[in-house]
Amino acid sequence: MSRELIKGVSPDEKFQHLEIILDRMRRLHGIGRNFVPTQCTLISGYSDGVEIRQYVGIDGTINFLDLYIDDIELNEQKKKIAIAQVQSLCFDLKGTSYSYPVRVGRNTILMDMKIITGTKLRIAFDRPVTGIWYSFVLTPKITKVQVVDMSEEETSDEGVQLPLARGIV
């Protein structure tokens, strides 16, 4: 017979039991209930030409680039393959450039590229490309100033209150 982790028949009873579990965990480990995890930001758009330009206004790391290409002009070997050149230029005029082969359809490129505020990104193709859907996944840089210690003493009157968790204003 399986054991239920959160007991209760109604949603109210389940929320009350969940609050009891969270309180026990907080006392046991000395942690608070409120925290903000590192979040990824999505930068996306559409272009219909041979180039994409994007300005990034925060520090962080571009984890990967996802491209969906509707059509590419045939190359010399009669194949629909193009070379995407990803360039980054920072405000201090230091930059990097990487080249990747891309095809019609979805292309995912792992980048792990560090960027700073004010970085200009440019993706250029070596042949005409139509219908470029693009998306960058960016993880913002978290500095020590932004990290807040959530010890039990500081969070005794904070946290998600039960009426708010149920959507009652």
CATH number for position 85: 2.60.120.260
For residue 133, being part of any structural domain is answered with yes
Overall domain count for the chain: 2
- Is the pLDDT at 157 greater than 70? The verdict is no
Q: Is 66 exposed, middle or buried (0-12, 13-18, 19+ CB in 10 A)?
A: middle
The string of pLDDT tens digits covering residues 52-101 is: 888 888 888 888 889 999 999 888 888 899 999 988 888 777 788 889 99
Residue 22 shares a structural domain with residue 77: no
Quote the CA–CA distance of 34 and 141 in Å, as a whole number. 20
Residue 99 shares a structural domain with residue 32: no
Residue 75 shares a structural domain with residue 92: yes
pTM for the model: 0.58
**Domain range spanning residue 24?**
7-36
Residue 24 shares a structural domain with residue 50: no
Contact between 61 and 121 under an 8 Å Cβ cutoff? The reply is no
For residue 120, being part of any structural domain is answered with yes
